[in-house]
Chain A
Amino acid sequence: MKKTMKFGAIALVSAVTVSLMVAAPAKALNCAKPKATVTMLGTIKPEIQDQFLGAVADYNKSQTCFVVKSVPGDRKLTFLQNVTPMYAAKNAPTIMYTLQEIPDMADKVMDLKSTKLARLVSKDLLAAANIGGKQVGVPSTAEAFGLLYNKTVLDKAGVDPKKILTRSDLEAAFKKVEASGAGAVRFSSIWWSLGAHFSNMYFSTASKTKAGRLAILDGMADGKKDLASDPVFKDYLATFELLKKYNQAKPNTTDTEYDLSVADLASGKAGFWFMGNWAEPNLLTASPKTSFGIMPLPMSNTASAYGNGSIPVGIPGYFMIDETQSTSWERKGAIDFLTWLYTSPAGQKRVAGPVSSGGMNFIPVYKGFTIQPETFMAKEISTYVTSAKTLDWMNTFYPAGGQDLYGASGQKLMADKITGAQYAAELEKAWKGSVKTWRGEKK
């Protein structure tokens, strides 16, 4: 999900070229009406901007009814910062893409329940964008996070990631990697990594059932949950301390940390890195011949503890279609574009194909995909998904802006500015009074 969690799908895009009007046989759509321009804010993620714009150009060439146009958002701004002025100016984009702001948008976007796309994806993956029975969004891809590793470093140190089942196994592996001459682990002091992803390691393992996990969020919002007395939270803190102890670099809270971490894992200066599969293209660009894998972050010392052998897999964002400022013909175009992107052979090639040949390297979430990503890490994720060793992304339910606060607290803990107990107290304080959007509550 990457930095984009906050910056959403908004990318600074240069003006998009208007499509070439190559006559193509009209498909099932009856194109009686004049051509409509369908706008989309951003390009899903800035990292795959060129590939996405390539897909848009392909789509525009493939039919004669609609022109899809990506309108640039400001990448430094959040989704709401970009979208509110557009709504105020009666110039709302037709297609929008975001995650945590979905509840804020629910009353402005259309119900996608009866679309082909919604039928092609499992109910679980639609859940986060189902607000009070209204299907306000459809997913883009699945992403996973956990401990990324450099296979070359681990092979040299004699570490088999499949055999790391507990926290003490992990420490032993760290020691072996250090003994082999590399740094053990990169634990990046990046606010969105600590605030959204690392914190999720607690919330997604705090209970075995979904109901139980949501109840924990209720407790946090009500100010009743006592983190310090929760054994899972104790394990979570112990894992935090373990990664901190073996962190190969000094905590760096500045904007350089992501790139420096990529460089260190890619060059083998570190064996592991707590991050997600969105970093794989960056790693492969830095070191094309190395294999980079992903493994669970074991938090408990009991191998069978819930979540110890699983990785959090989730949807980084959902597409929504505006209903208040667009015409029905524009909405039709928006649905047609998204359907083309995920169901047509040309669209699927753009979605799941390798980055080097114009694809976005996305892990498909829709049924009927004929193309699958081929990279080492993507294949590993598929194994976890097919063997049902996945954890929820509870961070999908975090209140807007919450991850900023949990991330800042995580950075403080990493820099020894606060203790574990203070960290727990800060999390409790930041959560208290949050609107329970996971229960359908409105702000």
Chain B
Amino acid sequence: MNTGYKVRKFGIFAALPLAIFSVVLVLPFAQGFFLTFTNWNGFKYTEFSGVANYTKSFKDPAFWTTLSFTLKFVVVSLVAVNVVAFGLALLVTAKLRSSTILRTFFFVPNLIGGVVLGVIWQFIFNTALISISQRYSLPFFSDSWLNETTTAFWALIIVTVWQSSGYMMIIYITGLISIEQDVLEAARVDGASAFRTLMTIKIPLMAQAFTISLFLTLRNGFMAYDVNVALTGGGPYRTTELISMHIFQDAFAFGNFGTGQSKAVIMFLMVATAALVQVSISKRMEVQR
């Protein structure tokens, strides 16, 4: 293959996507990164301020509290979403008559946008559950879950699980059905129990699906914003603000564009590191077939 051909092929297939990628992602990112070293006020900047925005960000106690709240959210949602999604995948791949309907049923929440979902669940927690609890005297829901930090956290988790597990389920289903039947048959002939088959045959052979799902839920957890805004709005007492919302508030509500932008860069580095570590660990667990 000569170079001219290669260049032409690159031009045909990659130039356009690359150009779009650069314009909508690389350039704004570079611009944003640049602005963290200036005194940008959302409209313009007049001088360079070195790393002042970063030091200010690290000194902001609210940044650390939101960060620890976000980490807690990421860990819990990561486990919950994947456990539920894998469970659902096992359920719908079992030889059930209703499996197609169930698949659709579990996937549908994913088609609803985060803000709409947040509003729906806000109604459920604030109004519907309270009416039900009054009618049947269930003390558990007598007060809105969004009224207390702890319960509001679990409300966030419930809605996130409800929204994302359908999507992750599809990935797990793909993993499960890609396992060759002869391996499963051999296990059955050898007398392996269903649990044994799951642990030593199915899960290792579909480790790729775990890599993808874990990566996606990890990323989604760190970047969760719309459900947070629409469901709890950061309340009560600003205790359920996740990092994305905190950054947004810092920049646009408080007008601290410099620290808001630098916190966004810090968050990017954190998410990138966490994702790289997770993917490299998961990759090691994948089995070559």
Chain A positions within 8 Å of B, measured between CB atoms, are 6, 76-78, 80-81, 84, 87-88, 101, 104, 108, 191, 250-256, 399-401, 404-405, 408-409, 411-412, 415, 417, 443
Contact = CB atoms under 8 A, between A and B. Distances in A.
Interface in B219-248: 229, 233, 235-238, 248
Given A252-B144, A254-B146, A80 B235 contact: no
Contacts of A253: 146-147, 235-237
B227 to A, nearest CB: 13
Interface string B243-264: 0000011001111000000000
A256 B236 contact: no
Contacts of B122: 254-255
A116 B143 CA distance: 54
Nearest to A80: B252
B255 A411 contact: no
Nearest to A402: B254
Interface of B: 41-43, 122, 125-127, 143-144, 146-147, 229, 233, 235-238, 248-249, 252-255
Given A255-B126, A404-B238, A417-B237, A84 B229 contact: no
Contact of A252 (B147, B237, B253): B147
B236 A415 contact: yes
A204 B85 CA distance: 55
A408 B229 CA distance: 16
A417 B248 CA distance: 26
A252 B237 CA distance: 11
A191 B255 contact: no
A322 to B, nearest CB: 12
B235 A400 contact: no
Nearest to B43: A87
Contacts of A101: 255
A411 B237 contact: yes
Contacts of B143: 250
A399 B256 CA distance: 11
A429 B143 CA distance: 31
A80 to B, nearest CB: 5
A256 B126 contact: yes
Contacts of B238: 404-405, 408
Contact of A400 (B146, B147, B254): B254
B127 A191 contact: no
Contact of A104 (B41, B233, B236, B248): B41
Contacts of A443: 41, 255
